[in-house]
Amino acid sequence: MSIFWNIWIVGLTLVCLALVVWGLFANRKVAIKDDEEPENRTTGHVYDGIEEYDNPLPKWWFQLFIGTLVFTALYLAWYPGLGSFPGIGGWTSANQLEREHEKAREVQDEIFGAYTQMSIEELAQDNGAMKIGVRLFANNCAVCHGADGGGNYGFPNLTDKDWLYGGTPEKIKETLLHGRAGNMPPWGPIIGEPNVLAVTEYVLSLSGREHNKAQLEQGGKVFQQNCAACHGADGKGNQTLGAPNLTDEVWLYDGSREGIAQSVRGGRANVMPAQKDMLQEEKIHLLAAYVYSLSLDL
């Protein structure tokens, strides 16, 4: 804060307080003495037949105002209310926030402490833990994966057995902690539009869907040369790379002929942010158990 604004705030605050004190004591006295003019004890103000008496504030009311002024003086001395003066109490909003966080951490440690000693498989069967897990999921994951974990366009369905990076408890927790970054490059400029269409027909054939057999051989060649490195020679994917299985009916994006062609032509890029800096590891451990539980009944 500059010197000008520091002086401005301090000066304005003290002047306002001084005016309040002056106004309070100035109205403590009356202008008309009852013993001098016993028949004239009003201020002369009349409204709708009602005359205003010239009486001071009641003593208790006056003392109440004095109490507020004393409180104001103590408050401004203890807290930083006068410009850059830090206050003798040393209070800051940052320190207050840290204390509140510390209290919250103590409560969370008490709640989550017992759960950290349990395995993810055990937690997935614990009703109390899952009640907390569903709220963690709703607050942190549902916006992308849906309230029921069923996924959205471009966001994986967590309720099936199809996992891009693996669905074991350890892999799920790893995904939550460190996030994932999936990237399929655009192949259109590299292989050309005819080969985009040919490889699309080949991909359709991998899941047993209707396809153009005339383009199958050429599409297979293009697939082996450019796609098999990630998706595997048989198209069943690679969880190490997060490359999806192309032989089932599960599609992260549009699985129609046009949608597959667009994925090949323009590529896809997906990022799941790491949660380790947003959630404490105790919460992530519980959240991983909830995500793991979503596909247990299948």
Each residue of 176-213: pLDDT tens digit?
999 999 999 999 999 999 999 999 999 999 999 999 99
Q: What pLDDT score does 225 carry?
A: 96
Closest CA to 267 of 190, 204, 198, 214: 190
Beta bridge partners of 46: 51
Each residue of 104-151: pLDDT tens digit?
888 888 888 888 889 999 999 999 999 999 999 999 999 999 999 999
First to last CA, the chain: 62
The phi and psi torsions of 236 (rounded to 5 degrees) equal -90, 10
Each residue of 21-48: pLDDT tens digit?
998 888 777 655 555 555 567 777 788 8
